[in-house]
Structure 1
Amino acid sequence: MNVTIYARLSLDQHGDELGVQRQEEECRAFAAARGWTVREVIADNDISATSGKVRPGFERLLVSKPDAILCWHTDRLIRKTEDLERVIALGVNVHAIHAGHLDLSTPAGRAVARTVTAWATYEGEQKALRQKASNLQAAKAGLPHRAGIRPFGYADDFVTVVEEEAEAIRKGAEMILQGETLAAVARLWTGLGLLAPRSSSGKAKGEANGWGVGGVKKVLISPRYIAQATYHGEIVAEGSWPAILDEATHYALVAALTNPKRFTGGARTGSAPQTLLAGLATCSKCGEAVRGGMYRGTPVYRCGQKHVRVPRELADKRAGNAVLARLAFPDLLGQILAAQGSQADDSAALHNEAKTLRERMDGLAVAYASGHITLSQMTAGTEAIRERLEEVESKLSGITGLPPVDPVTGLAGLIESWPDSPLPIRRAWVKFLLSIEMHPNGYKKAKNMTVDDYMTVGWHHVEEE
């Protein structure tokens, strides 16, 4: 007799398919002992038979017209009555190593099969209810949800912090709150080799997929990282594991990343610049602002009319050196301080309003953490306050046009950390200090062009602003 072996495993935590391999080995031994010929082996790995998801292997089994089906147990093949009816329609018998023989060729055999499947369905539903109750109880006790693969940032016990991953989470949070994109954080984590546990499970490091923006966002807004136990997305208790982020940072991330104005699909309405000089430098021929692009495999800046194609690496280095040179001038700090002092009378009310708005946002975060408001209320309230705060800060910046300066490290700290400073900060200083024009190549070959052929850089002076 020819048989088709069907194997299935609901959850493969390590992605190694060892569970279905063990089922196949036992089925082959069972068939060999009876002199049966194995025609084909079909498997569904890491797929539940009760979740409602399509099982590709099961569908292929049904269309393969098997002479007979051999499985490790009948619950590997069928867990729902509708699946049984589809198998019955094949008109073949089912042999199970640990559940006997289902004779689907007779009315009595089909009745037995339907009864067995009905009880299997009942037990599956009861198990689901028990599991839900157990999960809720564990969450209310502040215990981590341990189903599946470990979360990023924590070890296999779901409690011990993996410091290298935790530091990457903190750095990612800092980047988002400084205006960087989710894609930038994804590139950082992938570049560090700190892959999502599920993406790297069962694969060699070089074979694993990198982070996507969806995965990064899911991590950064998860209450797990402030040690909050949740059930179906609702916070139900303080967690019994160490936090990686503080609550203020977490709720600031939630407010930023759940902002409905943030691009999440559909028509793009604008995005944060991804290059240092896009939108800041201009073309000397047409006056249009340049943007990032590619030319023959090289990243360049170019205008819409394609008058200029300036190598991006060369332009960024030239602009960065010009900023650092201007920052090093001893007169600059005095001029900045004078400008800041001259705006005191005009901006005192705005500073007070900005302080009040920030305190209100902090109050929303505390209210949500205490369970007094829902996440949607906190997000909506934060968004309304943030819009007003952005207006106030825009007015403050407009008085002197000054980018932010760290009050502790000052200009010296900015110079020292320039290469690693977030892109929005570096762009702000380029805009404040420099005027940049980029030039057509004048039909010169690239190897004969100097940096001055490509671009002209001028300094703004504070007293002239």
Structure 2
Amino acid sequence: MTKRQGDGPVRAVIYVRISKDLTGEQLGVARQEEECRELCARLGFKVGEVFSDNDISAARGKVRPGFEALLASRPEAVVCWHTDRLVRVTKDLERVIALGVNVHAARAGHLDLSTPAGRAVARTVTAWATYEGEQKAERQALSNLQAAKAGKPYTAGIRPFGYSEDHVTIVPAEAEAIRAGASMILSGDSLSAVARTWTEAGLRSPRSIAAGANAWTLRGVKNVLISPRYIGLRTYRGEVMSEAQWSAILDDSTHYALVSILSNPDRFSGGPRTGRTATTLLSGIALCGVCGETVSGRGYRGTKIYGCRQTHTRTPRDVADQRAERTTLARMARPDFLPTVLTVHAGGGDADTARLHAEVKSVRERLDGLALAYAEGAINLSQMTAGSQALRASLENAESRLSGVTGLPPLDPATGIAGLLEGWTGTPLPVKRSWVQFCTIVTLMPANGKHARNMTPSDHVSIDWRDLDSSERDGQAV
């Protein structure tokens, strides 16, 4: 029985839906609406509202805005292209039955929901639709798994950044941007910096284009940089299945270094920013005089300062840098320094020890970061295992180059200490940091109630000389 209002024609609402609209042009729902209107004309129904759910499945529990609006519209009859467009699961059918109206389908006939027999038929039809949907999903999942194991690309979705519409051919400009973005992260830049660089270069994520966005998001950049796709691996539901049938854009060690850095929970929890290259003289070197933690550079009320995570100290950066550099230079100028250095340096060769030590330390931190990311659930076991293998290979290579080197910072054997002192102003920051750490222990002190303008450099900074033979403090504060 169909509800009527007075003696006029039945006011029917039309519902149309398709699960996937790959083009976004809504042609499928338009065709369904056309046939539904033709059915309404044949039945003598007056067409009311048209409700549409384009590109939304009815079998996966997702909210369908059009369907919800239909239920709230209190229709006299519902017209759809096929009943499985309207309902695919029993719980949705029961909500339609509760409306007390009949359903007419252009391709599946009439569902009489006014009688027990009609409702039973409707429930049976829906049960079989649910069964077929589940069977289809299983068949599709098996097909996708087999394709993944064969390394074939999944071409049903939006193309990945860096590859063309066939998901295999590399797009040169995008591939170069991915490599440059990886280099930026490994050099200490942020995801924001990479996102700005890609956006300003006029590059767009295919997914963001589909969504109407004009700029890269941090999540979008991260998803690209840590995806195994870019080292030529095919994944299925997050697990690596096989080598892919497309060329890699990044090498393995770069990829797993990125995974370690960008998936490490410490990066987002106030801990050390893993993989970041120091841009200040004393970050990671100077110690807080209260908690003993290393400090980092930051800003405070317009002033550049050093401070620990608990902000026990807010030492002006220029004061601390100047005092640390002067003390280091004073140590190197002492008469006993050159003979000691030459003794320690004997047999060390001219290798760039600071760079090698930094490389070894960086790789070890990335290994730790990879393990921590796995423990936190940010990456899976296959990613951690493969990443550990790649990073351990890099570590062995770096350690082999470091063998026989004493750990002394870079020193030109021709100009010696005198050349280092003379050219100190133009010395690269990493080399300066190495010598400051080699020669001194820098401790930054709390204000203890004093105003900064009333504090002397000695109030701010305490420096001890190291014993050059053991690299331990000798207790001589300066």
- TM-score past 0.5 threshold: yes
Q: Quick one: percent identity of the two aligned structures?
A: 54
CA apart distance, 1:241: 1.2
Deviation digits for residues 266-315 of structure 1 (CA, Å, limit 9, x no counterpart): x64576999x89999xxxxxxxx99679x9xxxx88899xxxxxxxxxxx
CA apart distance, 1:358: 5.2
Query: Does the Cα contact within 8 Å between 1:340 and 1:400 map onto a contact in 2?
Result: no
Alignment of 1:241 with 2:246, yes or no, is yes
Pick the aligned partner of 1:201 from 210, 235, 239: 210
Alignment of 1:46 with 2:52, yes or no, is no
Query: Does the Cα contact within 8 Å between 1:70 and 1:95 map onto a contact in 2?
Result: yes
Q: Which moved more, 1:150-159 or 1:33-42?
A: 33-42
TM-score where L is the length of structure 2: 0.61
Question: Using a 3 Å threshold, how does the CA distance of structure 1 residues 256 and 269 change in structure 2: closer, same or farther?
Answer: closer
Which residue number corresponds to residue 13 of structure 1? Answer: 22
Question: Using a 3 Å threshold, how does the CA distance of structure 1 residues 29 and 303 change in structure 2: closer, same or farther?
Answer: farther
CA apart distance, 1:219: 1.2
Pick the aligned partner of 1:224 from 212, 221, 229: 229
Task: State the alpha-carbon separation in 2 of the partners of residues 270 and 40 from structure 1.
Answer: 57
Q: Which moved more, 1:220-229 or 1:193-202?
A: 193-202
Task: State the alpha-carbon separation in 2 of the partners of residues 191 and 9 from structure 1.
Answer: 37
Deviation digits for residues 161-195 of structure 1 (CA, Å, limit 9, x no counterpart): 11221111111111111111112111222222222
CA apart distance, 1:35: 3.2
Query: Does the Cα contact within 8 Å between 2:11 and 2:46 map onto a contact in 1?
Result: yes
Q: Which amino acid in the other structure matches residue 382 of structure 2?
A: T
Question: Using a 3 Å threshold, how does the CA distance of structure 1 residues 290 and 131 change in structure 2: closer, same or farther?
Answer: closer
Question: Using a 3 Å threshold, how does the CA distance of structure 1 residues 353 and 7 change in structure 2: closer, same or farther?
Answer: closer
Q: Which amino acid in the other structure matches residue 61 of structure 1?
A: L
Which residue number corresponds to residue 336 of structure 1? Answer: none
Task: State the alpha-carbon separation in 1 of the partners of residues 170 and 303 from structure 2.
Answer: 43
Query: Does the Cα contact within 8 Å between 1:94 and 1:102 map onto a contact in 2?
Result: yes
Query: Does the Cα contact within 8 Å between 1:16 and 1:202 map onto a contact in 2?
Result: no
CA apart distance, 1:86: 0.9
Deviation digits for residues 128-164 of structure 1 (CA, Å, limit 9, x no counterpart): 1111111111111111112211111111111111122
Matches for 1:1-80 after TM superposition, within 5 Å: 1-80=10-89
Query: Does the Cα contact within 8 Å between 1:136 and 1:231 map onto a contact in 2?
Result: yes
CA apart distance, 1:25: 2.7
Which residue number corresponds to residue 143 of structure 1? Answer: 152
Query: Does the Cα contact within 8 Å between 1:10 and 1:45 map onto a contact in 2?
Result: yes
Matches for 1:77-156 after TM superposition, within 5 Å: 77-156=86-165
- Aligned-partner SS, 1:84: helix
- Specify the structure having the higher radius of gyration (Cα): 2
TM-score where L is the length of structure 1: 0.62
Alignment of 1:169 with 2:174, yes or no, is no
Unaligned runs of 5+ in 2: 1-9, 284-295, 307-340, 371-380, 412-427, 435-478
Alignment of 1:158 with 2:167, yes or no, is yes
Task: State the alpha-carbon separation in 2 of the partners of residues 229 and 150 from structure 1.
Answer: 14
Matches for 1:31-430 after TM superposition, within 5 Å: 31-201=40-210, 203=212, 208-263=213-268, 268-269=270-271, 351=356, 374-377=382-385
Q: Which amino acid in the other structure matches residue 232 of structure 1?
A: R
Deviation digits for residues 342-392 of structure 1 (CA, Å, limit 9, x no counterpart): 967689888579659959989x99xxxxxxx732345679999999x9xxx
Q: Which amino acid in the other structure matches residue 376 of structure 1?
A: M
Task: State the alpha-carbon separation in 2 of the partners of residues 353 and 4 from structure 1.
Answer: 69
CA apart distance, 1:198: 2.0
Which residue number corresponds to residue 416 of structure 1? Answer: none
Query: Does the Cα contact within 8 Å between 1:278 and 1:291 map onto a contact in 2?
Result: no
Query: Does the Cα contact within 8 Å between 1:7 and 1:44 map onto a contact in 2?
Result: yes
Task: State the alpha-carbon separation in 2 of the partners of residues 31 and 105 from structure 1.
Answer: 20
Query: Does the Cα contact within 8 Å between 2:37 and 2:47 map onto a contact in 1?
Result: yes
Deviation digits for residues 406-430 of structure 1 (CA, Å, limit 9, x no counterpart): xxxxxxxxxxxxxxxxxxxx98799
Q: Which amino acid in the other structure matches residue 254 of structure 2?
A: T
Task: State the alpha-carbon separation in 2 of the partners of residues 98 and 258 from structure 1.
Answer: 50
Task: State the alpha-carbon separation in 2 of the partners of residues 59 and 292 from structure 1.
Answer: 51
Aligned residues: 345
Q: Which amino acid in the other structure matches residue 219 of structure 2?
A: G
Task: State the alpha-carbon separation in 2 of the partners of residues 340 and 221 from structure 1.
Answer: 45
Task: State the alpha-carbon separation in 1 of the partners of residues 13 and 191 from structure 2.
Answer: 47
Superposition CA RMSD, Å: 4.5
Unaligned runs of 5+ in 1: 281-288, 305-338, 366-372, 403-425, 433-465
Query: Does the Cα contact within 8 Å between 1:196 and 1:211 map onto a contact in 2?
Result: yes
Task: State the alpha-carbon separation in 1 of the partners of residues 109 and 343 from structure 2.
Answer: 88
Task: State the alpha-carbon separation in 2 of the partners of residues 63 and 129 from structure 1.
Answer: 34
Query: Does the Cα contact within 8 Å between 2:281 and 2:432 map onto a contact in 1?
Result: no
Query: Does the Cα contact within 8 Å between 2:164 and 2:170 map onto a contact in 1?
Result: yes
